[in-house]
């Protein structure tokens, strides 16, 4: 198997930094990175002529290279508005598949109260669509103060685990859908169709 190229590495760094990319953003990034650092090796120079097919081939190639590290690029079909005439919106992210020391170290940065709070939020969102932030603050914050809860939710939104709408309604963010799909299903939530590369 071919080693990870400079273009592969730059694309993965961008994906890691941004947490989640829409497929259209990934196409732009692939084009920019590929033009500066050379091709990705997933297809002949010049590609197939179909940018989406080239992106998917690149992501599949990256997944083969990442498999030994228990990492995977995953995507899901996001709800698209009725005004959208184009292809469905797809969100992609780099997912850690292993419960290894690195994952535990990252997870260890959360306090026990925050982990309990996150579990409560995920469960509450499954049972009520469009839960209000104020409702969650009352029912899901557990031992966290209101200020600590708000800061924790802000971190979850920044990390793309949750989304908060203009009216304060809370929904699962792309990372929760991609990384915690089984947990969400276990709570009875509907999870969008996944895209495998």
Pick left, alpha or beta for residue 100 (phi over 0 → left; psi -120 to 50 → alpha; otherwise beta): beta
Query: SS in 3 state form for the chain?
Result: CCCCCHHHHHHHHHHHHHCCEEHHHHHHHHHHHHHHHCCCCCCCCCCCCCHHHHHHHHHHHHHHHHHHHCEEEEEEECCCCCCCCCCCCEEEEEEECCCCHHHHHHHCCCCHHHHHHHHHHHHHHHHCCCEEHHHHHHHCCCCCCHHHHHHHHHHHHHCCCEEECCCCEEEECHHHHHHCHHHHHHCCCCCCCEECC
pTM above 0.85, yes or no: no
User: Residue written as tokens 């829409």?
Assistant: 22
Where is average pLDDT lowest: 20-24, 48-52, 109-113, 153-157? 48-52
Does the structural domain 6-98 have CATH classification 3.30.420.40?
no
Q: Rounded CA gap, 174 and 22, in Å?
A: 10
Does the pLDDT at position 145 exceed 60?
yes
pLDDT of residue 103: 52
pLDDT of residue 44: 42
* End-to-end alpha carbon distance in the chain: 17
Q: Rounded CA gap, 55 and 90, in Å?
A: 12
Read off the pLDDT of each residue in 16-26 and give the average, rounded to a whole number.
91
Q: Rounded CA gap, 149 and 38, in Å?
A: 45
The predicted-structure confidence for 71-128, as pLDDT tens digits, reads as follows: 999 999 987 655 666 778 899 999 988 765 555 545 556 788 888 899 999 999 988 7
**CATH number listed for the domain at residues 110-191:** 1.10.10.10
Spell out the domain ranges in the chain: 6-98, 110-191
Q: 136 vs 128, which has greater pLDDT? A: 136
């Amino acid at each position: 198997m071919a080693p990870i190229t400079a273009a592969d590495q730059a694309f993965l760094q961008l994906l890691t930094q941004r947490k989640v990319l829409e497929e259209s953003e990934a196409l732009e990034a692939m084009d920019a990175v590929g033009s500066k650092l050379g091709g990705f090796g997933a297809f002949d120079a010049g590609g197939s002529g179909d940018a989406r097919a080239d992106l998917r081939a690149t992501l599949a190639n990256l997944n083969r290279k990442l498999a030994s590290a228990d990492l995977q690029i995953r995507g899901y079909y996001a709800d698209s508005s009725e005004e959208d005439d184009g292809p469905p919106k797809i969100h992609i992210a780099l997912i850690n598949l292993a419960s290894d020391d690195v994952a535990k170290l990252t997870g260890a940065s959360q306090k026990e109260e925050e982990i309990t709070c996150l579990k409560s939020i995920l469960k509450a969102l499954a049972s009520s669509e469009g839960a209000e932030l104020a409702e969650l603050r009352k029912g899901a914050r557990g031992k966290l103060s209101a200020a600590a809860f708000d800061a924790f939710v802000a971190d979850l939104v920044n990390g793309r685990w949750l989304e908060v709408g203009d009216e304060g309604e809370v929904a699962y963010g792309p990372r929760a859908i991609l990384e915690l799909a089984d947990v969400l299903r276990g709570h009875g939530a509907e999870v969008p169709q996944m895209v495998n590369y």
